[in-house]
Structure 1
Amino acid sequence: MIAKTAEEGAGFHGPSIDEFFPPVLFELAGIPVTRIHLIQFLAVIGIVLIFGLGTRRMTLVPGRFQSVVEMGLDFVRINVAEDLLGKKDGQRFLPILTTIFFMVLFMNITGIIPFLNIAGTSIIAVPLLLAVISYVTFIYAGIKKSPKGFFKNALFPSGVPPVVYILVTPLEFISTFIIRPVTLTLRLLMNMMVGHLMLVLFFAATQFFLLDLGGWWSALAAGTLAFGFVFTVFEILVAVLQAFVFTILTAVYIQLAVAEEH
Structure 2
Amino acid sequence: MSVHVSLSEATPVAAEGGDGGFIAPGPGSFELPPVFEVAGFGVTKPMLLLILSAVLILAFTISASRNAQMVPGRLQFAGETVYGFVRNTLARDNIGSEHFMKFVPYLFSLFMFILVNNYYGIFPFLQFPTMSRIGFVIPLALISWLIYIGAGMWKHGVFGYFKHATMPAGVGGPILILLVPLEFFSNILVRPVTLTLRLFGNMFAGHLLLILFATGGAALLTSGNALYAGVGILSFALGIGVSFLEMLVMFLQAYVFTLLSSMYIGEALADEH
Q: TM-score, normalised by structure 2?
A: 0.88
Q: 2:125 matched to which residue of 1?
A: 115
- CA gap of 1:63–1:111, structure 2 versus 1, over 3 A, is same
Is 1:202 aligned to residue 213 of structure 2? Answer: yes
After TM superposition, the structure 1 stretch with the greater mean CA deviation from structure 2, 88-97 or 195-204, is: 88-97
Is 1:20 aligned to residue 59 of structure 2? Answer: no
Measured against aligned partners, the alpha-carbon deviations of 1:14-61 in whole angstroms (never above 9, x if no partner) come to 211112222223334664311111122222221111112111222221
Please give the secondary structure, in 2, of the residue aligned with 1:81.
helix
Matches within 5 A, 1:77-116: 77-116=87-126
Correspondence for 2:255 among 239, 244, 253? 244
Query: Would the aligned equivalents of 1:203 and 1:224 in 2 still touch at CA under 8 Å?
Result: yes
CA distance in 1, matches of 2:41, 2:261: 30
Measured against aligned partners, the alpha-carbon deviations of 1:58-95 in whole angstroms (never above 9, x if no partner) come to 22211111111111111111211112222232212111
CA distance in 2, matches of 1:43, 1:210: 35
User: Percent of counterpart pairs with the same letter?
Assistant: 38
Q: Structure 1 residue 180: deviation in Å?
A: 0.1
Q: 1:76 matched to which residue of 2?
A: 86
Measured against aligned partners, the alpha-carbon deviations of 1:177-222 in whole angstroms (never above 9, x if no partner) come to 1100000011101110001100000011111111233423221122
Q: 1:145 matched to which residue of 2?
A: 155
CA distance in 1, matches of 2:224, 2:115: 38
What is the CA RMSD across the aligned residues, in angstroms?
A: 1.9
CA distance in 1, matches of 2:32, 2:40: 17
Query: Would the aligned equivalents of 2:96 and 2:266 in 1 still touch at CA under 8 Å?
Result: no
After TM superposition, the structure 1 stretch with the greater mean CA deviation from structure 2, 43-52 or 94-103, is: 43-52
Q: Structure 1 residue 150: deviation in Å?
A: 1.1
CA distance in 2, matches of 1:221, 1:150: 57
Correspondence for 1:179 among 190, 213, 217? 190
Please give the secondary structure, in 2, of the residue aligned with 1:32.
strand
2:190 maps to a residue whose letter is: I
Q: TM-score, normalised by structure 1?
A: 0.92
1:164 maps to a residue whose letter is: I
Measured against aligned partners, the alpha-carbon deviations of 1:236-261 in whole angstroms (never above 9, x if no partner) come to 10110000000000111011111101
**Relative to total residues, which structure has the larger helix share, 1 or 2?**
1
Correspondence for 1:39 among 49, 56, 59? 49
Q: Structure 1 residue 230: deviation in Å?
A: 0.6
Query: Would the aligned equivalents of 1:15 and 1:197 in 2 still touch at CA under 8 Å?
Result: yes
Measured against aligned partners, the alpha-carbon deviations of 1:109-149 in whole angstroms (never above 9, x if no partner) come to 10111111110111112211110111011011111111152
How many residues align structurally? 258
- CA gap of 1:29–1:261, structure 2 versus 1, over 3 A, is farther
Q: Structure 1 residue 175: deviation in Å?
A: 0.6
Structure 1: which 5+ residue stretches go unaligned?
none
Correspondence for 1:215 among 187, 205, 226? 226
CA distance in 1, matches of 2:39, 2:171: 54
